[in-house]
Structure 1
Amino acid sequence: MENEVQIKLFFLIGTLAMVFLALGIILMSVIYKSRVDRLNRKKSESLLNASLNSEKRERQRIASDLHDGLSGDLSAVKNFIALLNNKEEDYSKKEILQEVSTVLTHALSNVQNISYNLMPPLLESYGLVPTLKSYFDRIKKSNNITIKQHYFSDVIEIPSSEAYEIYRIVQELTTNMIKHGNSQQISISITLDQNTLLFEITDDGISFDFNEKLQSSLGMGLKNISSRIKHIDAKLIQQPISIGNKFQIILNSDNYVKSSNNR
């Protein structure tokens, strides 16, 4: 009888030991997986930051090359054509020179627009709001579209890296609204609530589900938006509306400053 009790006790202790061993192995596996996932997230964030920073530097380089190089060359050629046109007396040749000058004017304008879109020069010098106003002025000139803007201040002092990403997100969203959504009206507003900046972009075009399109899209536009949102630790929320689309970008910081003279 005593032997049976000892045997049962032995099996009980053995079973408990095996259970604790199994739980220990599971716990170690969970901790290991958590650490691996954390390292992978840090690696992904590092790669994302490096990729976006590299893209910004490359955009700056190409924009500078276009503005200082090709744009200057086209302007010089246009001036030479103007000189030849003034000296030419043959009417048929003057017509040809005038046509060449017109083509050069269009080419110069296209190069300047490309350079501006790659890296808007106002962003570093004047900040986000003047850059957005300039961008939407260009949009209105090249598209038959109404754009409504509201900014709580003309001066929003945020780090230039965050201002750049916000500008690119707004650019991607509005380009998508115009190109794919056939929007006729776009509204943008920036408001400040304590230390939270709220960017709101609304259009009256074709509705779409951002997250659904993000998963199925082969293009880079929506993926770039998602990457930039993560890069600046912001939130992108799509609010349901009856017509069109409404997006909110929420950016938190303790360092935002508004100018009391521009409320």
Structure 2
Amino acid sequence: MQDEIQLKLFFWIGSATMLFLALGIIFITVAYKAKVDRLNRIKSESLLIASLDSEKRERQRIASDLHDGLSGDISALKNYITILNSKEEDLFKKEILQEVSSVLSHALTNVQNISYNLMPPLLESYGLVSTLKSYFDRVKKLHTIKVKQYYFSEVIEIPSSEAYELYRIIQEFTNNMIKHGKAQEISMAISLNENTVCCEISDDGLPFDFKKNIQSSLGMGLKNISSRIKHIEAKLVQVPEQKGNKFQIILKSVKNVKNSNN
């Protein structure tokens, strides 16, 4: 009888030990996987930040080269053509020189637009609002589209890195709305609620589901938006609309945000 009790005791002790070891192995496995996932996430975030920072520096370099190099060369060449045209007496040659001058003017405008789109010069000097106003002025001229704008202040004091990413996000949305959504009107608004900045952009174009399209999209536009949203730790909300689209970029816990109108 005593031997039977001892056997049962050993059985339960052995079972408990095996169960404890199994739970321990499961716990270690789960903890290890969680650690690996966390390290991969940190690595992914670091690579994302490095990639976006590298892109910004490269944009600045190319924009500067275009503005200071190619743009200056075209302007100088256009001036030479103007001088030659003023001294030329042959009407046929004057017409040709005038055509060349017109082509150079068009090329200069294109170079300036490319340089501006790569890195808007107003962003560092005058801030986000002035840059957006200038950007939408160009959009209206290029695409004959109506743009409504509302800003709670002419000066929104947020870090330049966040202002840059917000500008790029809005630029990507605008390009998508015009190119794919065939929008005829775009509304842009930036509001402030305590220390939370909300950028809202809407249109009257073809509706699309951001989350659904980002999964199937082969282009980089929507993926760039998602990456930049993560980079500045913002939140993207698509507001349901009967017509068109409305998106909100919510930048929470913004430090030192001020309303200059107060």
Same fold (TM over 0.5): yes
Instruction: State the match for 1:78 in structure 2.
Output: 78
| Contact 2:151–2:191 (CA under 8 A) maintained in structure 1 | yes
Q: In the alignment, residue 114 of structure 1 is paired with which amino acid?
A: I
CA distance in 1, matches of 2:253, 2:159: 10
Instruction: State the match for 2:253 in structure 1.
Output: 253
- In the alignment, structure 1 residue 158 sits paired with structure 2 residue 152: no
List 4+ stretches of structure 1 deviating above 2 A. Answer: 256-260
CA distance in 1, matches of 2:36, 2:217: 29
Q: In the alignment, residue 208 of structure 1 is paired with which amino acid?
A: F
Instruction: State the match for 1:29 in structure 2.
Output: 29
Deviation at 1:255, TM superposition (A): 1.5
Deviation at 1:144, TM superposition (A): 1.6
Deviation at 1:49, TM superposition (A): 0.3
CA distance in 1, matches of 2:251, 2:113: 29
CA distance in 1, matches of 2:51, 2:224: 11
Deviation at 1:5, TM superposition (A): 1.0
| Contact 2:195–2:257 (CA under 8 A) maintained in structure 1 | no
Q: Secondary structure at the match of 2:207?
A: coil
Q: Secondary structure at the match of 2:22?
A: helix
Instruction: State the match for 1:242 in structure 2.
Output: 242
Instruction: State the match for 1:16 in structure 2.
Output: 16
CA distance in 2, matches of 1:188, 1:148: 6
- In the alignment, structure 1 residue 134 sits paired with structure 2 residue 134: yes
Structure 2: unaligned runs, 5 residues or longer:
none
Q: In the alignment, residue 237 of structure 2 is paired with which amino acid?
A: I
Q: In the alignment, residue 72 of structure 2 is paired with which amino acid?
A: G
Deviation at 1:254, TM superposition (A): 4.2
CA distance in 2, matches of 1:176, 1:60: 23
| Contact 2:237–2:249 (CA under 8 A) maintained in structure 1 | yes
Instruction: State the match for 1:171 in structure 2.
Output: 171
Deviation at 1:257, TM superposition (A): 2.6
Q: Secondary structure at the match of 1:124?
A: helix
- In the alignment, structure 1 residue 203 sits paired with structure 2 residue 199: no
Q: Percent identity?
A: 73
CA distance in 1, matches of 2:145, 2:72: 32
CA distance in 1, matches of 2:254, 2:61: 32
| Contact 2:197–2:251 (CA under 8 A) maintained in structure 1 | yes
Q: In the alignment, residue 34 of structure 1 is paired with which amino acid?
A: A
CA distance in 1, matches of 2:98, 2:166: 42
Structure 1: unaligned runs, 5 residues or longer:
none
CA distance in 1, matches of 2:66, 2:216: 35
| Contact 1:190–1:197 (CA under 8 A) maintained in structure 2 | yes
| Contact 2:158–2:254 (CA under 8 A) maintained in structure 1 | no
CA distance in 2, matches of 1:91, 1:108: 25
- In the alignment, structure 1 residue 188 sits paired with structure 2 residue 194: no
Q: In the alignment, residue 58 of structure 2 is paired with which amino acid?
A: E
Deviation at 1:2, TM superposition (A): 1.1
Q: Secondary structure at the match of 1:233?
A: coil
Instruction: State the match for 2:222 in structure 1.
Output: 222
Matched residues, number: 262
CA distance in 1, matches of 2:254, 2:119: 27
| Contact 1:156–1:256 (CA under 8 A) maintained in structure 2 | no
Instruction: State the match for 2:109 in structure 1.
Output: 109
| Contact 2:196–2:251 (CA under 8 A) maintained in structure 1 | yes
Deviation at 1:193, TM superposition (A): 0.4
Which residues in structure 2 correspond to 1:51-66 (within 5 Å)?
A: 51-66=51-66
Q: In the alignment, residue 23 of structure 1 is paired with which amino acid?
A: L
| Contact 2:198–2:251 (CA under 8 A) maintained in structure 1 | yes
Deviation at 1:8, TM superposition (A): 0.8
CA distance in 1, matches of 2:156, 2:146: 24
| Cα distance per residue 1:109-145 (max 9 Å; x no partner) | 0000000000000000000000000000000111121
CA distance in 2, matches of 1:259, 1:197: 11
TM-score by length of 2: 0.99
Instruction: State the match for 1:232 in structure 2.
Output: 232
Q: Secondary structure at the match of 2:53?
A: helix
Which residues in structure 2 correspond to 1:85-124 (within 5 Å)?
A: 85-124=85-124
Deviation at 1:258, TM superposition (A): 2.3
